[in-house]
A and B are shown apart, each in its own frame.
Chain A
Amino acid sequence: MSTQQKELESLVNRRYEHGFVTDIEQESLPPGLDEDVIRAISARKNEPEFMLEWRLKAYRHWLTIKEPEWAHVHHHPINYQDISYFSAPKSDKDRPQSLDEVDPKLLETYDKLGIPLHERARLAGVAVDAVFDSVSVATTFKDKLSEAGVIFCPFSEAVVEHPALLQKYLGTVVPHRDNFFAALNSAVFSDGSFVYIPKGVRCPMELSTYFRINAANTGQFERTLIIADEGSHVSYLEGCTAPMRDENQLHAAVVELVALEDAEIKYSTVQNWYPGDEDGKGGIYNFVTKRGDCRGANSKISWTQVETGSAITWKYPSCILRGENSVGEFYSVAVTNNLQQADTGTKMIHIGRNSSSTIVSKGISAGHAQQSYRGLVRVMPQAEGARNHTQCDSLLIGKECGAHTFPYMEVRNSGAKVEHEATTSRISENQLFYCRQRGISEEDAVNMIVNGFCKEVFKELPMEFAVEAQALLNVSLEGAVG
């Protein structure tokens, strides 16, 4: 039995494939954070005054608050003065206008990741706004999008080109005072994506951004804002991987979604940041604030996430269901292996009449990993007829890992319907033996069982992303312990 156990463990402990560092010269600010650093970031980006003021306001607030400690994760204290808050590839000055002009080394990096950008763009008809170390270096299909009136650009460009839209919506979903990491992000955010879909427009293609973190000791502070105006529709894909590094890398992104009347936003994430080695050394700290505001009647926001990476994940993509009949959805697969820790879930805040929400959370733990589902369903008194269904399933692989569930429900309307279902199961040696007796290798058997477990979430992902997500899961969890 014990040799079997060892073999299984060796399968689980497969090394991260995407660990490498691209040698592109960095133009970074020295480590440390004060008002001058913020001014320097703002100046480098040629930001208008309002943006600098906003950053400073956030920074001053951040100084007054403490890092939250309630999450079910453990890590050494982060020294925020050891982090460099800005880095950009040197080629920033003369930005490439097309993929041909992109640094070949960068393209090579994408190739190593199995993301041939040009091919992906051509085959899938996806416009890609590739964020590489804080500055966007490739934007495609811009013409087609602008024909439809869609704005899809780096955040820093939006600050300069579309200040009115930005001022109207920035920080209205995740205010700079929201939480410690959101405040930090608001002060120092480097870049990210900005999307505006005009009234009645169905975005002609899926919008996609690939993020990478590539500079040692550099915090990555992305900021994304997506606005779907009345009756519009957009599907946004976010995917990321990171190279191997020894220092822990802090990532504190903020994503704000605004859906006006009859609008729909579908936001899909595949996250594969470096999780650290077997001892948990060197992985990414992923402290993200993602929130969508269903501001208008009949609006819909759907979060789908596949989380396999990072040493620590602290992430709760949420929906504020303000509009009447608005719909919020959260579909999640989270995988933790080795010493990875994840505290993730969602919040559904029901304010509008007949608002409804669906939560499907699938957690998979292997090795010594700890994973928590933390979900809040809040029904406000005015949310007449609100409905929620939560399904929260955990799959354990091996005997050393843990799964925890913290569902919070605050229902202040007696007519609301709130349902919660939860299961915990384990991949058994008998299941694996059964598959192996049919000629299927242990690895393939685990993948098969895990994919079966995640089916409900994968079917929510856009096709090409679903394939990628499945492959990612297989890499993250090769093998299992019964």
Chain B
Amino acid sequence: MSKMLEIENLKARIAGNEILTGLNLVVSTGEVHAIMGPNGSGKSTLAQVIAGHADYDVTEGSVKFDGNDLLELEPEERAREGIFLGFQYPVEIPGVNNAYLLKAAVNAKRKHVGMDEIDAFEFLKLAREKMALLDMDQSFLNRGVNEGFSGGEKKRNEILQMAMLEPKLAILDETDSGLDIDALKAVANGVNALRHADRAIVLVTHYQRLLDYIEPDFVHVLSKGQIVRSGDKSLALELEEKGYEWVREVANA
């Protein structure tokens, strides 16, 4: 087990408002971390900052990925290095074929590591395999990217992309929100299939429910832009029981 992601005293703001106020977190290979916290605590901001969204300014602190400065890299470089963000609100890109985006993404990564482009047959075979795992209909491939997808379909599509890209570090931002129980199980299946000693997964979630299906090694509670408590999965249950009000009290104490 080695350190993959090291976040130190991270401060970040958007439109002048400081959201992350000195966050520390270390994620090592093979681990699954859950980050929980009330609305506005900075969960999504953390995910966006790691992915490199330009709207967020990092004012202090450092983020290292495999020992290298992550904040120096462009979003696409971070992705090619193996960071995947499952979006809370995946955007629609009308007219762009889902398969086309997937293939372009797979090839961008392959190119980065010096591999040849994937051939059409190999790609299709792989995609079908992963889609079966996620209980997705084949027709997904030929639809516009997230175009007219239901909330559940969008989230499954995120997991499909993750499964195809096989990232080192997957950050799933509220992947469980808006999912019915079947979709939740399918998504959890996809994520669990990806658990691996060389890989780390960070689940950003509001509810404990997802953790019934994807068991985390660590649970962190975020409040006002900092991690105020860390523990094992029992912390999630405690949180569920006592509510976020309890976290605020802890944070203020």
If the complex has contacts A428-B91, A433-B54, are A442 and B76 also in contact, measured as CB distance less than 8 A? yes
- Flag if B95 contacts A452 (CB, 8 Å): yes
List B170-212 residues whose CB lies under 8 Å from chain A.
Answer: none
Give the Cβ gap from B147 to chain A, nearest Cβ, in Å: 10
- Flag if B95 contacts A449 (CB, 8 Å): yes
Residues in B with CB closer than 8 Å to A1 are 54-55
Give the Cβ gap from B89 to chain A, nearest Cβ, in Å: 8
- Flag if B54 contacts A438 (CB, 8 Å): no
If the complex has contacts A434-B90, A452-B144, A455-B95, are A440 and B51 also in contact, measured as CB distance less than 8 A? no
- Flag if A434 contacts B144 (CB, 8 Å): no
The answer to whether the Cβ of A437 comes within 8 Å of any Cβ in the partner chain is: yes
- Flag if B165 contacts A437 (CB, 8 Å): no
The answer to whether the Cβ of A413 comes within 8 Å of any Cβ in the partner chain is: no
Question: In terms of DSSP, what is the predominant structure of the interface of chain A?
Answer: helix
- Flag if B91 contacts A431 (CB, 8 Å): yes
Residues in A with CB closer than 8 Å to B108 are 438-441, 444
- Flag if A438 contacts B91 (CB, 8 Å): no
- Flag if A437 contacts B85 (CB, 8 Å): yes
Q: How many residues of B contact A (CB 8 A)?
A: 31
List B62-115 residues whose CB lies under 8 Å from chain A.
Answer: 74-76, 78-80, 84-85, 87, 90-91, 93-97, 100-101, 104-105, 108-109, 112
- Flag if A438 contacts B105 (CB, 8 Å): yes
Give the Cβ gap from A212 to chain B, nearest Cβ, in Å: 33
- Flag if A436 contacts B94 (CB, 8 Å): no
Give the Cβ gap from B54 to chain A, nearest Cβ, in Å: 4
Tell me the bound Cα distance from A4 to B101 in angstroms: 23
Residues in A with CB closer than 8 Å to B55 are 1, 429
Residues in A with CB closer than 8 Å to B95 are 449, 452-453, 455
Tell me the bound Cα distance from A442 to B52 in angstroms: 13
The answer to whether the Cβ of B161 comes within 8 Å of any Cβ in the partner chain is: yes
Residues in A with CB closer than 8 Å to B104 are 438, 440, 444, 448
- Flag if B79 contacts A436 (CB, 8 Å): yes
Residues in B with CB closer than 8 Å to A437 are 51-52, 75-76, 78-79, 84-85, 87
If the complex has contacts A431-B93, A448-B104, A452-B94, are A440 and B76 also in contact, measured as CB distance less than 8 A? yes
The answer to whether the Cβ of B3 comes within 8 Å of any Cβ in the partner chain is: no
The answer to whether the Cβ of A430 comes within 8 Å of any Cβ in the partner chain is: yes
In the complex, 11 of the A-B residue pairs with CB atoms within 8 angstroms, ordered by the A residue number, are A1-B55, A3-B54, A431-B91, A433-B51, A433-B75, A436-B79, A437-B51, A437-B85, A438-B79, A439-B112, A452-B95
Interface residues of A, Cβ cutoff 8 Å to B = 1, 3-4, 425, 428-431, 433-442, 444, 448-449, 451-453, 455
CB-CB nearest 10 A-B residue pairs: A452-B95, A452-B96, A439-B108, A438-B105, A439-B79, A436-B75, A4-B54, A436-B76, A439-B80, A434-B91
